[in-house]
């Protein structure tokens, strides 16, 4: 617990600084996080006996971030299509299996494409500071679920996937996230208070789904954590598993119902 707290004390100011700075520093930082997360995912697959084409995933990530930097978001689909074809060619050349190709492309979809929505949210012109909502939802869900489960948890939520998670913890995480999003909106966008509280409720469910999905991958590949880059928290994917699912939700919700 102490190690986890120390990591948070060190990491949170860095995260806040990058979010405040935004723009190019945010894109570069997220690009690095995407590559690290993708590497963790592929390393887990290696332990399961699969051999994804790593260089395809890393190259796609670089091109994706560069296209967003250039403001060419429309090019994402075309880039992905080109990498699908390239992957098929390399599978034949390097004698990889079909499963290796599918998992290579799944890693691209799961990590860089979904995480790129953090950048897309940052590029939205309104409302102000909305990128913070992605992290508020993810971290509030995790924090409130942890303490609610520790204090009140009795009924297992999904024991085969994550034995420690409870229904009480899940409800506590959702409730705390709604309050946190309400506080955010009250001070920054009071005219959208209800909309952000609704987003908090939906987002908390989605964040917990992201957490459980990552847990399923870890159980399937037989690992405890994706990495050790963050003491007390594990790897990049251990910390960003719920953010990966939350970012697209926030982007489309804000685009359709708020902005």
Q: How far apart are CA 114 and CA 247, in angstroms?
A: 7
pLDDT of residue 116: 93
pLDDT digits (tens, 9 = 90+) for 32-51: 999 999 999 999 999 999 99
Q: Where are the beta strands (DSSP E) in 184-242?
A: none
End-to-end CA distance of the chain: 39
> CA quadruple 49, 240, 254, 65: dihedral positive or negative?
negative
Q: How far apart are CA 239 and CA 111, in angstroms?
A: 13
Q: CA angle, corner 170, sides to 165 and 174, nearest 5?
A: 155
Cβ atoms of 230 and 239 within 8 Å: the answer is yes
Q: How far apart are CA 119 and CA 131, in angstroms?
A: 9
Whole-model pTM: value is 0.88
Q: How far apart are CA 246 and CA 17, in angstroms?
A: 21
pLDDT of residue 79: 65
The parts of the chain modelled with pLDDT lower than 70 are 1-11, 72-80, 83, 88, 90-95, 230-233, 259
pLDDT of residue 143: 92
Q: How far is CA 183 from CA 167, 176, 208, in A?
A: 25, 11, 21
Element (H, E) at 166: strand 162-166
Dmax over CA atoms of the chain, in Å, equals 58
pLDDT of residue 168: 94
Domain borders along the chain are 22-123, 126-259
Q: How far apart are CA 56 and CA 61, in angstroms?
A: 9
pLDDT of residue 64: 87
């Amino acid at each position: 617990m102490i190690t986890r707290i120390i990591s948070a004390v060190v990491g949170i100011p860095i995260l806040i600084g990058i979010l405040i700075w935004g723009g190019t520093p945010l894109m570069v930082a997220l690009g690095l996080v995407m590559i690290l997360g993708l590497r963790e995912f592929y390393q887990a697959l290696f332990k399961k006996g699969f051999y994804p084409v790593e260089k395809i995933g890393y190259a796609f990530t670089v091109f994706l971030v560069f296209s967003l930097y250039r403001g060419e978001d429309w090019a994402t689909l075309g880039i992905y299509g080109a990498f699908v074809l390239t992957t098929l060619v390399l599978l034949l050349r390097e004698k990889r299996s079909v499963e290796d190709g599918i998992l290579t492309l799944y890693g691209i979809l799961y990590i860089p494409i979904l995480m790129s929505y953090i950048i897309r949210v940052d590029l939205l012109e309104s409302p102000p500071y909305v990128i913070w909502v992605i992290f508020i939802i993810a971290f509030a869900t995790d924090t409130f679920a942890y303490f609610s489960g520790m204090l009140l948890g009795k009924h297992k939520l999904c024991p085969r996937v994550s034995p420690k998670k409870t229904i009480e913890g899940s409800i506590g995480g959702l409730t705390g996230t709604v309050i946190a999003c309400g506080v955010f909106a009250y001070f920054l966008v009071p005219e959208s208070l209800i909309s952000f509280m609704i987003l908090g409720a939906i987002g908390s469910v989605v964040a917990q789904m992201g957490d459980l999905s990552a847990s399923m991958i870890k159980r399937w590949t037989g690992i405890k954590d994706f990495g050790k880059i963050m003491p007390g928290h594990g790897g990049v994917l251990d910390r960003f598993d719920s953010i990966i699912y939350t970012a697209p939700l926030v982007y489309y919700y804000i685009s359709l119902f708020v902005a």
